[in-house]
Chain A
Amino acid sequence: MSTIVKGLYYAESHEWVKVEGEFGFVGISDYAQHALGNVVYVDLPEVDDDVTQGEEFGAVESVKAASDLISPVSGTIVEVNEELNDKPQLINEDAFANWIMKVKLSDPSEVENLLDSDAYKAICE
Protein backbone atom coordinates (compact mmCIF):
# COMPACT_ATOMS: atom_id res chain seq x y z
CA MET A 1 0.00 0.00 0.00
CA SER A 2 2.75 2.46 0.85
CA THR A 3 5.41 3.58 -1.60
CA ILE A 4 9.08 2.71 -1.21
CA VAL A 5 11.64 4.53 -3.32
CA LYS A 6 14.62 2.59 -4.64
CA GLY A 7 18.13 3.94 -4.24
CA LEU A 8 17.56 5.38 -0.77
CA TYR A 9 18.80 3.97 2.52
CA TYR A 10 16.29 3.29 5.25
CA ALA A 11 16.39 3.01 9.04
CA GLU A 12 14.20 0.56 10.93
CA SER A 13 12.75 3.61 12.64
CA HIS A 14 11.34 4.61 9.21
CA GLU A 15 13.59 7.52 8.24
CA TRP A 16 15.26 7.54 4.82
CA VAL A 17 18.45 9.15 3.58
CA LYS A 18 19.27 10.04 0.02
CA VAL A 19 23.00 10.45 -0.51
CA GLU A 20 24.19 13.11 -2.97
CA GLY A 21 27.97 13.45 -2.90
CA GLU A 22 29.04 14.42 0.59
CA PHE A 23 25.50 15.32 1.64
CA GLY A 24 22.53 13.30 2.81
CA PHE A 25 18.88 14.40 2.62
CA VAL A 26 16.82 12.91 5.43
CA GLY A 27 13.08 12.39 5.64
CA ILE A 28 10.49 9.90 6.85
CA SER A 29 9.02 7.13 4.75
CA ASP A 30 5.59 6.94 3.19
CA TYR A 31 4.87 4.02 5.49
CA ALA A 32 5.68 6.24 8.48
CA GLN A 33 3.51 9.17 7.34
CA HIS A 34 0.65 6.78 6.74
CA ALA A 35 1.02 5.24 10.18
CA LEU A 36 1.16 8.70 11.78
CA GLY A 37 -1.85 10.14 9.99
CA ASN A 38 -2.25 13.92 9.55
CA VAL A 39 1.05 15.61 10.37
CA VAL A 40 0.38 18.92 12.15
CA TYR A 41 3.84 20.02 13.24
CA VAL A 42 7.46 19.20 12.51
CA ASP A 43 9.95 20.05 15.24
CA LEU A 44 12.88 20.90 12.98
CA PRO A 45 16.48 20.75 14.16
CA GLU A 46 18.84 23.75 13.91
CA VAL A 47 21.32 24.35 11.14
CA ASP A 48 24.92 23.77 12.28
CA ASP A 49 23.84 21.25 14.92
CA ASP A 50 25.58 17.90 14.82
CA VAL A 51 23.56 14.73 14.46
CA THR A 52 24.60 11.16 15.22
CA GLN A 53 23.40 8.00 13.56
CA GLY A 54 20.74 6.38 15.75
CA GLU A 55 20.09 9.50 17.82
CA GLU A 56 17.08 11.78 17.99
CA PHE A 57 17.22 15.04 16.00
CA GLY A 58 13.65 16.34 16.12
CA ALA A 59 10.06 15.17 16.10
CA VAL A 60 7.04 14.82 13.90
CA GLU A 61 3.69 15.51 15.51
CA SER A 62 0.58 13.95 14.07
CA VAL A 63 -2.85 15.01 15.34
CA LYS A 64 -2.70 12.45 18.08
CA ALA A 65 0.93 11.86 18.98
CA ALA A 66 4.54 12.99 18.84
CA SER A 67 7.14 10.71 17.27
CA ASP A 68 10.86 11.25 17.65
CA LEU A 69 12.93 11.55 14.51
CA ILE A 70 16.04 9.39 14.61
CA SER A 71 18.94 10.39 12.42
CA PRO A 72 20.01 7.65 9.99
CA VAL A 73 23.41 9.34 9.51
CA SER A 74 26.05 11.33 11.40
CA GLY A 75 27.28 14.76 10.44
CA THR A 76 26.43 18.46 10.58
CA ILE A 77 23.09 19.91 9.55
CA VAL A 78 23.58 22.36 6.67
CA GLU A 79 19.95 23.04 5.85
CA VAL A 80 16.46 22.31 7.18
CA ASN A 81 13.28 22.29 5.14
CA GLU A 82 11.69 25.51 6.46
CA GLU A 83 8.66 25.00 4.26
CA LEU A 84 7.51 22.37 6.76
CA ASN A 85 7.01 25.10 9.38
CA ASP A 86 3.99 26.44 7.53
CA LYS A 87 3.00 23.29 5.68
CA PRO A 88 3.69 20.23 7.83
CA GLN A 89 1.04 18.39 5.77
CA LEU A 90 3.55 18.22 2.88
CA ILE A 91 4.91 15.14 4.67
CA ASN A 92 1.55 13.45 4.11
CA GLU A 93 1.32 14.62 0.52
CA ASP A 94 4.73 13.27 -0.47
CA ALA A 95 7.02 11.93 2.21
CA PHE A 96 9.89 11.31 -0.20
CA ALA A 97 9.85 14.69 -1.95
CA ASN A 98 9.73 16.58 1.33
CA TRP A 99 13.00 15.98 3.09
CA ILE A 100 13.44 17.34 6.63
CA MET A 101 17.17 18.09 6.90
CA LYS A 102 20.29 18.09 4.76
CA VAL A 103 23.38 16.76 6.52
CA LYS A 104 27.06 17.04 5.61
CA LEU A 105 28.05 13.45 6.24
CA SER A 106 30.95 12.84 8.59
CA ASP A 107 31.14 9.15 7.72
CA PRO A 108 29.52 8.19 4.39
CA SER A 109 30.23 4.50 5.03
CA GLU A 110 27.62 4.56 7.83
CA VAL A 111 24.89 3.93 5.24
CA GLU A 112 26.02 0.33 5.26
CA ASN A 113 24.33 0.03 8.66
CA LEU A 114 21.00 0.94 6.99
CA LEU A 115 18.51 -1.05 4.93
CA ASP A 116 18.13 -0.94 1.17
CA SER A 117 14.66 -0.58 -0.31
CA ASP A 118 14.05 -4.34 -0.54
CA ALA A 119 15.10 -4.99 3.07
CA TYR A 120 13.01 -2.01 4.21
CA LYS A 121 10.01 -3.24 2.27
CA ALA A 122 10.25 -6.52 4.16
CA ILE A 123 9.92 -4.83 7.57
CA CYS A 124 6.93 -2.80 6.41
CA GLU A 125 4.95 -5.88 5.62
Chain B
Amino acid sequence: MEETIKTCLHAKHLALGAKMMPFGGFDMPIEYSSIIEEHNAVRHAAGIFDVSHMGEVLVTGIDSEKYVNHIFTNDISNAPIGKIYYGIMLYPEGGAVDDLLVYKVGAKAFFLVINASNIDKDFAWMVEQTKGFEVKVKNLSDNYGEVAVQGPTAVTAVEEELGLMVNDLAFYTFKEIKVAGETIIVSRTGYTGEDGFEIYGSHAYINKVWDALINSKKVLPCGLGCRDTLRFEVALPLYGHELDWNISPLEAGLGSFVKLDKEEFIGKEAMMLQETEGVKRKVVGIELTERAVARNGYEVEADGKVIGTVTTGYISISTGKSVCMALIDSAYSALGTPVSIRIRKKLFAATVVKKRFYEKNYKK
Protein backbone atom coordinates (compact mmCIF):
# COMPACT_ATOMS: atom_id res chain seq x y z
CA MET B 1 0.00 0.00 0.00
CA GLU B 2 1.21 3.46 -0.84
CA GLU B 3 1.78 5.81 2.02
CA THR B 4 -0.80 8.56 2.31
CA ILE B 5 0.20 12.21 2.22
CA LYS B 6 -0.67 14.52 5.09
CA THR B 7 -1.99 18.02 4.35
CA CYS B 8 -0.67 21.00 6.32
CA LEU B 9 -3.78 20.78 8.55
CA HIS B 10 -3.44 17.08 9.34
CA ALA B 11 -2.54 17.60 13.00
CA LYS B 12 -5.60 19.86 13.46
CA HIS B 13 -7.90 17.10 12.21
CA LEU B 14 -6.44 14.60 14.63
CA ALA B 15 -6.73 17.11 17.48
CA LEU B 16 -10.43 17.58 16.65
CA GLY B 17 -10.95 13.81 16.69
CA ALA B 18 -11.88 13.55 13.01
CA LYS B 19 -12.58 10.21 11.42
CA MET B 20 -9.78 9.92 8.84
CA MET B 21 -9.73 8.02 5.57
CA PRO B 22 -7.45 7.87 2.52
CA PHE B 23 -8.70 9.98 -0.39
CA GLY B 24 -6.78 10.64 -3.60
CA GLY B 25 -3.56 9.56 -1.92
CA PHE B 26 -4.09 11.83 1.11
CA ASP B 27 -5.11 11.00 4.67
CA MET B 28 -8.21 13.19 4.91
CA PRO B 29 -10.96 13.91 7.46
CA ILE B 30 -14.28 12.30 6.49
CA GLU B 31 -16.28 13.69 9.39
CA TYR B 32 -15.71 15.43 12.73
CA SER B 33 -19.14 15.46 14.41
CA SER B 34 -21.44 13.80 11.90
CA ILE B 35 -21.97 14.11 8.15
CA ILE B 36 -25.58 15.22 8.68
CA GLU B 37 -24.68 17.93 11.17
CA GLU B 38 -21.84 19.20 9.00
CA HIS B 39 -23.99 19.12 5.87
CA ASN B 40 -26.70 21.17 7.55
CA ALA B 41 -24.16 23.66 8.90
CA VAL B 42 -23.06 24.44 5.35
CA ARG B 43 -26.64 24.71 4.06
CA HIS B 44 -27.80 26.98 6.89
CA ALA B 45 -24.72 28.61 8.50
CA ALA B 46 -21.08 27.94 7.57
CA GLY B 47 -18.48 25.20 7.50
CA ILE B 48 -14.77 24.99 6.81
CA PHE B 49 -13.13 22.26 4.75
CA ASP B 50 -9.47 21.36 4.41
CA VAL B 51 -9.05 21.09 0.65
CA SER B 52 -5.27 21.32 0.70
CA HIS B 53 -5.18 18.03 -1.17
CA MET B 54 -6.26 19.84 -4.35
CA GLY B 55 -3.44 20.46 -6.82
CA GLU B 56 -2.25 23.85 -8.06
CA VAL B 57 -0.38 24.43 -11.30
CA LEU B 58 0.93 27.77 -12.55
CA VAL B 59 1.14 28.39 -16.29
CA THR B 60 3.19 31.39 -17.43
CA GLY B 61 4.77 32.61 -20.66
CA ILE B 62 3.95 34.45 -23.87
CA ASP B 63 1.76 31.62 -25.16
CA SER B 64 0.03 30.90 -21.85
CA GLU B 65 -3.44 31.96 -23.03
CA LYS B 66 -3.15 30.01 -26.27
CA TYR B 67 -1.81 27.01 -24.37
CA VAL B 68 -4.56 26.96 -21.73
CA ASN B 69 -7.17 27.32 -24.48
CA HIS B 70 -5.54 24.35 -26.20
CA ILE B 71 -5.84 21.98 -23.22
CA PHE B 72 -9.12 23.35 -21.76
CA THR B 73 -12.70 23.13 -23.05
CA ASN B 74 -13.89 26.53 -21.79
CA ASP B 75 -12.84 29.72 -23.57
CA ILE B 76 -10.45 31.98 -21.68
CA SER B 77 -9.65 34.31 -24.60
CA ASN B 78 -9.32 37.93 -23.45
CA ALA B 79 -10.31 36.99 -19.92
CA PRO B 80 -9.98 39.81 -17.40
CA ILE B 81 -7.53 39.31 -14.55
CA GLY B 82 -9.50 38.13 -11.52
CA LYS B 83 -11.88 35.87 -13.39
CA ILE B 84 -12.25 32.11 -12.92
CA TYR B 85 -13.40 29.52 -15.43
CA TYR B 86 -14.59 25.97 -14.87
CA GLY B 87 -13.84 23.51 -17.64
CA ILE B 88 -12.42 20.14 -18.59
CA MET B 89 -9.12 18.87 -20.00
CA LEU B 90 -9.89 16.25 -22.62
CA TYR B 91 -8.11 13.40 -24.29
CA PRO B 92 -8.34 13.55 -28.09
CA GLU B 93 -10.98 10.76 -27.95
CA GLY B 94 -13.24 12.93 -25.77
CA GLY B 95 -12.78 11.37 -22.33
CA ALA B 96 -11.78 13.68 -19.49
CA VAL B 97 -8.25 13.97 -18.13
CA ASP B 98 -9.73 16.04 -15.30
CA ASP B 99 -12.08 18.90 -14.54
CA LEU B 100 -10.49 22.04 -13.18
CA LEU B 101 -10.68 25.73 -12.39
CA VAL B 102 -8.58 28.24 -14.28
CA TYR B 103 -7.78 31.51 -12.47
CA LYS B 104 -6.45 34.33 -14.62
CA VAL B 105 -3.80 35.76 -12.29
CA GLY B 106 -1.83 37.87 -14.78
CA ALA B 107 -1.78 39.03 -18.38
CA LYS B 108 0.29 35.94 -19.19
CA ALA B 109 -0.29 33.82 -16.11
CA PHE B 110 -2.94 31.25 -15.15
CA PHE B 111 -3.41 29.35 -11.90
CA LEU B 112 -5.00 25.94 -12.45
CA VAL B 113 -6.69 23.99 -9.65
CA ILE B 114 -6.95 20.26 -10.24
CA ASN B 115 -8.21 17.17 -8.41
CA ALA B 116 -6.00 15.59 -5.76
CA SER B 117 -6.16 12.08 -7.19
CA ASN B 118 -5.14 13.37 -10.61
CA ILE B 119 -2.22 15.66 -9.77
CA ASP B 120 0.57 13.51 -11.18
CA LYS B 121 -1.40 12.39 -14.22
CA ASP B 122 -2.59 15.95 -14.98
CA PHE B 123 0.80 17.52 -14.57
CA ALA B 124 2.44 14.95 -16.85
CA TRP B 125 -0.33 15.58 -19.39
CA MET B 126 0.09 19.34 -19.19
CA VAL B 127 3.86 19.12 -19.63
CA GLU B 128 3.39 16.84 -22.63
CA GLN B 129 1.11 19.39 -24.29
CA THR B 130 3.57 22.29 -23.99
CA LYS B 131 5.34 21.23 -27.19
CA GLY B 132 5.27 24.15 -29.59
CA PHE B 133 4.13 26.64 -26.93
CA GLU B 134 6.29 29.24 -25.24
CA VAL B 135 5.11 28.41 -21.71
CA LYS B 136 6.31 27.29 -18.33
CA VAL B 137 4.16 24.86 -16.34
CA LYS B 138 4.94 24.57 -12.64
CA ASN B 139 3.40 22.17 -10.14
CA LEU B 140 2.95 24.21 -6.95
CA SER B 141 0.74 21.67 -5.17
CA ASP B 142 3.18 21.14 -2.31
CA ASN B 143 3.53 24.88 -1.66
CA TYR B 144 -0.13 25.68 -1.12
CA GLY B 145 -2.59 24.94 1.62
CA GLU B 146 -6.25 25.51 0.81
CA VAL B 147 -9.44 25.81 2.78
CA ALA B 148 -13.02 26.24 1.60
CA VAL B 149 -15.34 28.29 3.81
CA GLN B 150 -18.87 27.57 2.65
CA GLY B 151 -22.39 28.51 3.61
CA PRO B 152 -24.67 31.55 3.85
CA THR B 153 -22.71 33.05 6.75
CA ALA B 154 -19.26 32.29 5.28
CA VAL B 155 -18.89 35.88 4.12
CA THR B 156 -19.28 37.33 7.63
CA ALA B 157 -16.93 34.77 9.13
CA VAL B 158 -14.21 35.45 6.55
CA GLU B 159 -14.53 39.24 6.86
CA GLU B 160 -14.81 39.44 10.63
CA GLU B 161 -12.43 36.69 11.71
CA LEU B 162 -9.80 36.92 8.98
CA GLY B 163 -10.06 40.63 8.20
CA LEU B 164 -10.28 39.90 4.49
CA MET B 165 -12.63 42.18 2.57
CA VAL B 166 -14.34 39.77 0.24
CA ASN B 167 -18.00 40.71 0.02
CA ASP B 168 -17.37 42.69 -3.17
CA LEU B 169 -16.20 39.55 -4.98
CA ALA B 170 -18.65 38.30 -7.59
CA PHE B 171 -19.24 34.58 -8.02
CA TYR B 172 -16.31 32.94 -9.87
CA THR B 173 -13.93 35.83 -9.33
CA PHE B 174 -10.95 36.12 -6.99
CA LYS B 175 -8.49 38.59 -5.62
CA GLU B 176 -4.94 38.41 -4.41
CA ILE B 177 -4.48 39.94 -0.98
CA LYS B 178 -1.21 40.77 0.79
CA VAL B 179 -1.20 39.47 4.35
CA ALA B 180 1.69 38.87 6.74
CA GLY B 181 4.38 39.01 4.10
CA GLU B 182 2.72 36.82 1.54
CA THR B 183 0.15 37.04 -1.22
CA ILE B 184 -2.85 34.81 -0.77
CA ILE B 185 -5.69 34.08 -3.19
CA VAL B 186 -9.33 34.31 -2.14
CA SER B 187 -12.02 33.27 -4.60
CA ARG B 188 -15.79 33.21 -4.42
CA THR B 189 -16.09 29.58 -5.40
CA GLY B 190 -16.87 26.23 -3.86
CA TYR B 191 -18.19 22.76 -4.30
CA THR B 192 -21.31 22.81 -2.14
CA GLY B 193 -23.96 24.82 -3.99
CA GLU B 194 -23.78 27.52 -1.32
CA ASP B 195 -22.13 30.92 -1.23
CA GLY B 196 -18.57 30.72 -0.02
CA PHE B 197 -14.87 31.19 -0.53
CA GLU B 198 -11.76 29.22 -1.25
CA ILE B 199 -8.53 30.52 0.24
CA TYR B 200 -5.07 29.55 -1.04
CA GLY B 201 -1.92 30.41 0.90
CA SER B 202 1.22 29.10 2.55
CA HIS B 203 0.89 26.21 4.99
CA ALA B 204 1.52 28.62 7.86
CA TYR B 205 -1.16 31.07 6.74
CA ILE B 206 -3.74 28.33 6.12
CA ASN B 207 -3.11 27.03 9.65
CA LYS B 208 -3.80 30.53 11.01
CA VAL B 209 -7.00 30.74 8.98
CA TRP B 210 -8.12 27.37 10.29
CA ASP B 211 -7.45 28.27 13.92
CA ALA B 212 -9.10 31.69 13.68
CA LEU B 213 -12.26 30.33 12.10
CA ILE B 214 -12.55 27.23 14.28
CA ASN B 215 -11.91 29.24 17.48
CA SER B 216 -14.51 31.83 16.48
CA LYS B 217 -17.17 29.06 16.54
CA LYS B 218 -18.72 30.76 13.52
CA VAL B 219 -17.88 27.83 11.27
CA LEU B 220 -18.07 24.10 11.84
CA PRO B 221 -15.19 21.86 10.75
CA CYS B 222 -16.51 19.77 7.86
CA GLY B 223 -15.08 16.63 6.32
CA LEU B 224 -15.06 15.16 2.85
CA GLY B 225 -18.16 13.12 3.73
CA CYS B 226 -20.46 16.13 3.61
CA ARG B 227 -18.45 17.75 0.83
CA ASP B 228 -19.71 14.85 -1.29
CA THR B 229 -23.34 14.96 -0.10
CA LEU B 230 -23.41 18.73 -0.68
CA ARG B 231 -21.93 18.71 -4.19
CA PHE B 232 -24.12 15.74 -5.09
CA GLU B 233 -27.39 17.50 -4.19
CA VAL B 234 -26.63 20.33 -6.60
CA ALA B 235 -25.43 17.92 -9.33
CA LEU B 236 -21.79 19.03 -9.37
CA PRO B 237 -19.77 16.23 -10.97
CA LEU B 238 -16.99 14.34 -9.21
CA TYR B 239 -14.17 13.05 -11.36
CA GLY B 240 -14.20 9.27 -11.30
CA HIS B 241 -17.98 9.24 -10.92
CA GLU B 242 -19.96 11.56 -13.23
CA LEU B 243 -16.93 12.44 -15.34
CA ASP B 244 -14.00 10.17 -16.15
CA TRP B 245 -11.40 9.18 -18.72
CA ASN B 246 -14.21 7.42 -20.59
CA ILE B 247 -17.10 9.79 -19.77
CA SER B 248 -17.18 12.94 -21.90
CA PRO B 249 -18.40 16.31 -20.62
CA LEU B 250 -21.31 16.16 -23.09
CA GLU B 251 -22.39 12.84 -21.61
CA ALA B 252 -21.97 14.38 -18.14
CA GLY B 253 -24.26 17.28 -19.09
CA LEU B 254 -21.42 19.82 -18.95
CA GLY B 255 -21.88 21.02 -22.54
CA SER B 256 -22.03 24.68 -21.51
CA PHE B 257 -18.37 24.46 -20.46
CA VAL B 258 -17.31 23.04 -23.83
CA LYS B 259 -16.89 25.88 -26.30
CA LEU B 260 -17.26 24.30 -29.69
CA ASP B 261 -16.98 27.71 -31.39
CA LYS B 262 -13.41 28.03 -30.08
CA GLU B 263 -10.74 27.72 -32.78
CA GLU B 264 -9.27 24.54 -31.37
CA PHE B 265 -8.74 22.47 -28.24
CA ILE B 266 -7.73 18.89 -27.57
CA GLY B 267 -10.81 16.72 -27.98
CA LYS B 268 -12.75 19.26 -30.06
CA GLU B 269 -13.33 16.88 -32.99
CA ALA B 270 -14.66 14.17 -30.69
CA MET B 271 -16.98 16.73 -29.05
CA MET B 272 -18.21 18.02 -32.43
CA LEU B 273 -19.03 14.47 -33.45
CA GLN B 274 -20.90 13.76 -30.19
CA GLU B 275 -22.76 17.05 -30.57
CA THR B 276 -23.84 16.22 -34.14
CA GLU B 277 -24.71 12.59 -33.55
CA GLY B 278 -26.09 13.06 -30.06
CA VAL B 279 -24.59 11.28 -27.06
CA LYS B 280 -25.43 7.62 -26.55
CA ARG B 281 -25.22 7.86 -22.76
CA LYS B 282 -26.19 10.61 -20.36
CA VAL B 283 -25.78 11.37 -16.69
CA VAL B 284 -29.32 11.74 -15.31
CA GLY B 285 -30.98 12.12 -11.93
CA ILE B 286 -33.06 9.21 -10.61
CA GLU B 287 -35.42 9.14 -7.65
CA LEU B 288 -36.29 5.88 -5.92
CA THR B 289 -39.88 5.35 -4.89
CA GLU B 290 -38.92 3.05 -2.07
CA ARG B 291 -36.57 3.77 0.79
CA ALA B 292 -33.36 2.10 -0.29
CA VAL B 293 -30.11 3.73 -1.32
CA ALA B 294 -28.58 3.46 -4.79
CA ARG B 295 -24.79 3.42 -4.53
CA ASN B 296 -21.97 3.94 -7.00
CA GLY B 297 -21.72 1.01 -9.41
CA TYR B 298 -25.24 -0.39 -8.92
CA GLU B 299 -26.97 -1.34 -12.16
CA VAL B 300 -29.88 0.60 -13.63
CA GLU B 301 -32.36 -1.50 -15.57
CA ALA B 302 -35.33 -0.94 -17.89
CA ASP B 303 -37.21 -3.19 -20.32
CA GLY B 304 -35.52 -6.18 -18.71
CA LYS B 305 -31.99 -5.11 -19.52
CA VAL B 306 -29.16 -3.16 -17.92
CA ILE B 307 -29.17 0.42 -19.26
CA GLY B 308 -26.43 1.94 -17.12
CA THR B 309 -24.89 2.33 -13.69
CA VAL B 310 -25.27 4.59 -10.69
CA THR B 311 -22.44 7.13 -10.36
CA THR B 312 -23.33 8.61 -6.93
CA GLY B 313 -26.34 8.03 -4.68
CA TYR B 314 -27.56 9.09 -1.27
CA ILE B 315 -30.64 9.71 0.77
CA SER B 316 -30.46 13.46 0.21
CA ILE B 317 -29.78 15.08 3.59
CA SER B 318 -31.53 18.30 2.56
CA THR B 319 -34.67 16.75 1.07
CA GLY B 320 -34.85 13.27 2.62
CA LYS B 321 -35.40 11.71 -0.79
CA SER B 322 -33.47 8.68 -2.01
CA VAL B 323 -31.85 9.93 -5.19
CA CYS B 324 -28.87 9.19 -7.37
CA MET B 325 -27.05 10.26 -10.49
CA ALA B 326 -26.50 7.56 -13.05
CA LEU B 327 -24.91 7.21 -16.47
CA ILE B 328 -27.54 5.55 -18.63
CA ASP B 329 -28.55 4.88 -22.23
CA SER B 330 -29.85 8.20 -23.64
CA ALA B 331 -32.99 6.46 -24.92
CA TYR B 332 -34.19 6.32 -21.29
CA SER B 333 -33.07 9.77 -20.21
CA ALA B 334 -36.35 11.68 -20.60
CA LEU B 335 -37.76 13.06 -17.34
CA GLY B 336 -40.41 10.74 -15.92
CA THR B 337 -39.07 7.57 -17.54
CA PRO B 338 -39.63 4.60 -15.23
CA VAL B 339 -36.46 2.61 -14.52
CA SER B 340 -35.34 0.30 -11.76
CA ILE B 341 -32.18 -0.09 -9.75
CA ARG B 342 -30.72 -3.35 -8.54
CA ILE B 343 -29.83 -3.10 -4.87
CA ARG B 344 -28.55 -6.22 -3.12
CA LYS B 345 -30.06 -8.49 -5.81
CA LYS B 346 -33.56 -6.91 -5.60
CA LEU B 347 -34.99 -4.46 -8.14
CA PHE B 348 -36.32 -1.16 -6.81
CA ALA B 349 -38.68 1.09 -8.78
CA ALA B 350 -37.39 4.52 -9.68
CA THR B 351 -38.02 7.45 -12.03
CA VAL B 352 -35.74 9.70 -14.07
CA VAL B 353 -35.87 13.19 -12.57
CA LYS B 354 -33.92 16.45 -12.80
CA LYS B 355 -30.46 15.78 -11.43
CA ARG B 356 -30.35 19.00 -9.50
CA PHE B 357 -31.94 17.69 -6.31
CA TYR B 358 -31.49 20.96 -4.43
CA GLU B 359 -31.35 24.57 -5.65
CA LYS B 360 -28.01 26.34 -5.48
CA ASN B 361 -27.76 29.49 -3.39
CA TYR B 362 -24.93 31.36 -5.06
CA LYS B 363 -24.32 35.08 -4.63
CA LYS B 364 -24.59 37.31 -7.72
Q: Are B225 and A37 in contact (CB-based, < 8 A)?
A: yes
Majority SS at the chain B contact face: mixed
Task: Check if B292 sits within 8 Å of A41, measured CB to CB.
Answer: yes
Given A37-B19, A37-B31, A43-B344, are A63 and B225 also a contact pair (CB < 8 Å)? yes
Chain A 28-53 per-residue mask, 1 if CB under 8 angstroms from chain B, else 0: 00000000011011010000000000
B344 CB to closest chain A CB (Å) equals 6
Q: Which of A41, A63, A66, A85 contacts B229 (CB 8 A)?
A: A63
A36 and B322 alpha carbons, distance in the complex (Å): 18
Neighbouring B residues of A38 by C-beta, 8 Å: 34-36
A61 interfacial contact with B, CB 8 Å? yes
Which residues of chain A are near B31, meaning CB under 8 Å?
Answer: 37
Evaluate contact between A40 and B315: CB separation under 8 angstroms: yes
* Interface pair B315/A37, CB less than 8 Å apart: no
Taking CB atoms, residues of chain A closer than 8 Å to B225 are 37, 63-64
For A61, list chain B residues within 8 Å (CB): 292-293, 315
Distance to closest chain A CB from B345 (angstroms): 10
Residue pairs across A and B with CB atoms within 8 Å: the count is 40
Q: Is A5 an interface residue (CB 8 A)?
A: no
Q: Given known contacts A41-B293, A41-B315, is B36 in contact with A63 (CB within 8 Å)? A: yes
Q: Which residue of A lies closest to B224 (CB)?
A: A64
What separation, in Å, do the CA atoms of A59 and B343 have in the docked complex?
11
Q: Which residue of B lies closest to A59 (CB)?
A: B344
Contact with A along B25-51 (1 / 0, CB 8 A): 000001100111000000000000000
B195 within 8 A of partner (CB):
no
Q: Complex formed: what's the CA distance from A94 to B36 in Å?
A: 18
Given the contacts A37-B19, A37-B31, A43-B344, A66 and B295 also touching, CB distance less than 8 Å: yes
- Give the distance in Å from the alpha carbon of A61 to the alpha carbon of B322 in the complex: 12
Contacts of A65 in B (CB 8 A): 295
Q: Is there contact, CB below 8 Å, between B317 and A63? A: yes
Closest CB of chain A to B295's CB: distance in Å?
6
Question: Chain A residues with Cβ under 8 A from B344's Cβ?
Answer: 43, 59, 66
Nearest Cβ on chain A to B32's Cβ, whole angstroms? 11
A64 vs B223: C-alpha distance in the bound complex, in angstroms? 12
B interface vs A, CB < 8 Å? 19, 30-31, 34-36, 225, 228-229, 291-293, 295, 314-315, 317, 322, 344
